[in-house]
A and B are shown apart, each in its own frame.
Chain A
Amino acid sequence: MRRTAALLWKEWRDHRALVFLFALLAPFAVWATQAAWIEDPADPMIGSVILPAIAVLFAAVLTAEALCADFASGAADALGRLPVSPRTLFGTKLAFVALVFPALLVWITFGEHLRRIAFGHDVELLWGEVLLSRFIWLIGATATMAVAACASLLRRGFPAVLAGSLMVLGSLVLVSRANDGAGPTWVQAALETWGLGLVLGTASVAFLCTAVGAYSPWTKARDARRIATGALCFCIVGLPAFATGLVRYRSDTSLQPGDPVTVQRSAPSPDGRYVALQVGRSAPWPGATLEAVWLLHVKTHEIRVLPGMQLCMPVWHAMDSTWSRAGELVCIDKGDEPCIAWIEPTTGTVVRTRELVDWPKFLDDVYSPAWCEIETGERAEDGAREYSLHWPKTGQHRTVHSWRRPHPTRRSGEAFYLDDRDLMRCTPEGTVERVLSGGEFRPVVAPDGSLALFRDEDRLWHVVETRTGTDVLDPGDWGLFGWTSRGRSAGVFQNRSKEGEFAIVGELGVRNLVIPGDRLYELNPTPDGGFVAHREWREGDDRDYRIERLDASGRVLEVLYENPR
């Protein structure tokens, strides 16, 4: 037992620098790998592939180092003269690796946890509670260990003091983050400082290793300059630390269920199985928000988190384009390269994407219902903006809304335009007729193009195919809430002057509806004739949200989601 302990002690002293560096660099390796290749911090590949791969790499390097270092240094001969069997010698080396490896895994886990805390959405909430109480001693131990390792390994004052000071400085900045409320920029700076210290330490060790003359058991040559196996290991493990400095940290936008979020919008899927929720909350650093899309399964109430996504918002409520007609959720992936992503709701996987040349400006860009076409508002010669919507269903529908005077609005080959306070229609043949008069008419066209509604300040008009000019609601301040995603076109309008009073406008006319309860923020029709209601309560700066499922009469069937207090 004492002999084994002596051998383990020797192995520890032989490889402690490597173990220290492994432990210190492992979190950076994880972060760099994740930041460089896997942008999504919630990607299961990190847990299932990346972390095991790094762990296996470390274990392999450590084992190789443990087995080869004695041969490289010539100490193997001295060990071979000990009154122990070769099996004991090698067994002890492997036992050393087996003992050290779990410790490394703990450190890797710690690093990953620290990263999540540092860059996660919950940094503001958890920093003071978790980091100080749980990790302060780990950070202190890490810094102390780093200084001790450098001092012991290098036995040279300057590199040890420099590297150690940087690590201590990084730790102090990290800890001070708990008090000053600074954002992840400071955290990143601290980590970078920390990493810089590690890199300097690594470089010093590598330099030292390459400068040491060594004995080669193959050539029998002595005092030959060479790169020691340890230096190679340091370089391998140190590279991610360099990479960490090069990559840009990506903020973790994963808002998890249970987090206090703001529900900005809800959109039932065409089949009624899901409700897409646009959620967000202000980021703990100025001028930024964290956003995500939650995919709420109506039956099970389970929530699938789609980090970094943003629901495509309809333009002027002209259409509800969050869901494609094929039942895919259409989002804007707010990654480094913004693109529109079609997401399969059952798996949460992106089935296809379409790059965007620029970040979408919802008031300037126009999307077709199936998101096959995107047109940026055209600017006419006189400077007026002109928008075009393409309906891919038939390829024939084309609605143009121009702010140029007069306003031509064309639908199904027809063109509507405003002439002063009159709504005029221009047929493809060139015939012009007055449809409505006496209002500031704004068009709201159904997704399938079968329904065109015009409203002014206190009246709502709808035009169905060839029929025009029906005054359906009067008087009132009617605001459009949404369109049904599939089936018969229907617009849901709220009477802003009478809380809870709605009008469902469709081809067959108008149906009045009174939704009980208050604080109704949004009402979206579902394919079964019911609705998904989105309520919001405000008390000072606090907000509470609730997503309800209603039947056709407006009765609350169940609460799908409720913001936790």
Chain B
Amino acid sequence: MDLLYFFELFVGGMIRGSIYALIALGYTMVYGIIKLINFAHGEIYMIGAFTALIFASVLSFTGMNPILIFIIASILAISFSVGYGVTMEKIAYKPLRGSQRLSALISAIGMSMFLQNYVLLAQTSDFLPFPELVPDFKFLEPIKYLISSTSFLILITTAIVMIFLTYLIKFTRTGKAMRATSQDARMAQLLGINISKIITITFVIGSATAALGGVLISTHIGQLNFYIGFIAGIKAFVAAVLGGIGSIPGAVLGSFVLGWTESFGTGYISSDYEDVFAFLFLIIILIFRPSGILGRPENNKV
């Protein structure tokens, strides 16, 4: 019995971890390229979820097949979120390139507030129910108490996204350019890499994964409002830092570690202090490894 409880917490933590990972990937990629904590990343996630909800509700009135609706709504959500991400970069971050990092950070905070209130004013402050679109998978029947079909979908998607991103960064020309930009933007520019294009691509990928996360998590939880992005963003950021910000495997590892910490902490100690476990764990890890679990120590140039 105890072992079963442990196992339940383990799987629960893994699902949490995959959720964080989907958001943390975008965070870490943007950070890797332009060294900016993109506070508005959580808002992109929220807008993705909202767009999906709107289209899914409208389409479900037409009586379409739920799976088809889910796919169409996800694609639309991803495209719109990418649009928001790229536009945001052009407005709030591009003019600040090369200025102080604190100014860019404040700009990101402003953007986050703006987008939150934009959705609040244009839509509603209430929690909206997300239509149930994902059918129960037959083959999950025997382990239904452990893993639902939506959480199964989240696990699979995270795995695919991670493999895709690793491939993209390690083995393609674009990935090479991204790595070069992250190492030394000025040098990369001198060698003929179009930095603006690389940054745009990064925001496209980051926003797309965030929107995907938004859609999947909202189907999993079943409801959303304008504020979900902020908390998710902070948690994902903690995960990214825990793993070593700027590193893709680090973000995923950090997310899983964070998911497990929270899951076991709430399961065995107390559910009131969920966030405290996350932050305390982060502080302890950073004391012993100041640049995260997989982060490379920063070189000090003198």
A and B: interacting chains: no
> Which A residues fall within an 8 A CB radius of B?
none
List B residues at the A interface (Cβ < 8 Å).
none
